[in-house]
Amino acid sequence: MKQRKPILLAFLVGIGVLLYACKPSDAKLQKEVNDKLATAAPGVIAEVKGGVATLSGEVMDDAAKTTAEDAAKSVKGVKSVVNNVMLTPPPPPPAAPVAINPDDILKTSVDSSLSAAGITGVTATIANGEVTLTGTIKKADLRKVMQAANEAKPKKVNNKLTLQ
């Protein structure tokens, strides 16, 4: 019986070494996971250490994030998955087009707004969608004059007013 113990121990050690040697390496696992991710979740990559796959990258939605995690988990030899994949924020909505009134409408609108506000001594000259204000006004009226000019929806307002 004493002779059998060393043989049995050597046999068990041999089996352990064989099983350990058959275990897939982290590099091999990483390649397999990244190959799966290339088709399942483009933009996501994995790094494997100790059988743990850590995912990183960006995807458009939660479904793609889950797909990436499931793809990594499906690789034989991966013990667990750490999903550090970020969601890409949606693009901002397109800006509304800026409406610029034609010169004749700008002239009429600015002149009538200045009259309605009781502002005198201001001349509005319109050229290519730009309003140029000239004249002399009280400092207290400047805000009203600029508001009247901007409400007409010009491309630009040039303030050449002299303040009293």
Domains and CATH numbers, the chain: 25-87 (3.30.1340.30), 103-163 (3.30.1340.30)
Query: For residues 114 and 108, what is the distance between their CA atoms, to the nearest angstrom?
Result: 10
pLDDT value of residue 36: 93
pLDDT value of residue 73: 94
Q: What is the mean pLDDT, run by run of 10 residues, along the chain of 164 residues?
A: 64 60 78 93 93 94 93 93 92 82 89 87 90 91 89 90 87
- pTM of whole model > 0.75? no
CB neighbours of 110 closer than 8 A, spacing ≥ 6?
124, 126, 131, 148, 149, 152, 154
pLDDT value of residue 9: 67
pLDDT value of residue 8: 65
pLDDT value of residue 90: 82
Amino acid in the structure at residue 66: T
Contact 128, 155 (CB under 8 A): yes
Closest CA to 155 of 115, 102, 114, 113: 102
Query: For residues 5 and 12, what is the distance between their CA atoms, to the nearest angstrom?
Result: 10
Amino acid in the structure at residue 47: E
pLDDT value of residue 46: 95
